[in-house]
Amino acid sequence: EAGVAQSPRYKIIEKRQSVAFWCNPISGHATLYWYQQILGQGPKLLIQFQNNGVVDDSQLPKDRFSAERLKGVDSTLKIQPAKLEDSAVYLCASSPSDWSEQYFGPGTRLTVT
Amino acid sequence: AQTVTQSQPEMSVQEAETVTLSCTYDTSESNYYLFWYKQPPSRQMILVIRQEAYKQQNATENRFSVNFQKAAKSFSLKISDSQLGDTAMYFCAFVSNNNDMRFGAGTRLTVKP
């Protein structure tokens, strides 16, 4: 069974630039999550999708972050414009239901300079 | 609000010995799941073990076992016969059916040869 795929693995941008991350969940998993993990901390949920609908985006900074999950499969997370404090690892995870164990992708390490 | 606390930022253990990582949580929910995830330097979050709150029996997965004390809201992870490959960050996580998954701040475990 293929795992959760994410790209790119690394990205370096200057502040005020835009960036997008892509995630392909495990086939058949209805629930998809985006997390932000700042160095030295545990992951923090940014947004949760159930199929192509948003379940929870209460911690998503909506003035600069956006996410979509068209057709209920792949998802993209965008930051526009980026700030220095957005430097973090962005993790995508998927699960068969909304409260079972989550399967994580390898993450994208973003550095904003 | 649900919170997860890992009070040991760093721990070390000699190869082949046993180590216990602590986790406490706070919730008013009666049914929930608890997890331990491992995050090696590669950043991939890997599920180590899960525990369902309504099950009294402690979960076990090979060298990994938990001590689940529901009344005390404690969920510690015991790693027996520690191996060099166990070196990683370990995150305790909690999820209930109406909340997103919450992670602790993590414990950095180093297995020494």
- Beta-carbon separation of B100 and A91 below 8 A: no
CATH number of the A5-112 domain: 2.60.40.10
Amino acid in position B10: E
Topology of the domain covering B3-112:
Immunoglobulin-like (2.60.40)
Q: Is B35 on the interface with A (CB under 8 A)?
A: yes
pLDDT more than 90, % of chain A:
78
- Chain B 46-65, residues with CB within 8 Å of chain A CB atoms: 46-47, 50
Rounded to the nearest integer, the mean pLDDT of chain A is 92
pLDDT digits (tens, 9 = 90+) for B13-23: 999 999 999 99
pLDDT at B100 over 80: no
Beta strand B60-61 pairing with B3-5? unpaired
Amino acid letter at A26?
I
Q: Would you call the peptide bond into B113 cis, given omega within 30 degrees of 0 as the criterion?
A: no
Note whether B91 contacts A: Cβ–Cβ < 8 A. yes
Domains of chain B by residue range: 3-112
DSSP H/E element including A47: strand A44-50
**Helix, strand, coil percentages in chain A from 3-state DSSP, rounded to 5:** 5, 50, 45
pLDDT score for B98: 63
B28: contact with A, CB 8 A cutoff:
no
Q: What is the mean pLDDT of residues A28-38?
A: 93
Q: Is the torsion defined by CA of A13, A92, B46, B37 positive or negative? A: positive
Give the C-alpha separation, B60 to B64, whole Å. 6
Question: What pLDDT is stored for residue B2 in this prediction?
Answer: 77
B43 interface with A at CB cutoff 8 Å: yes
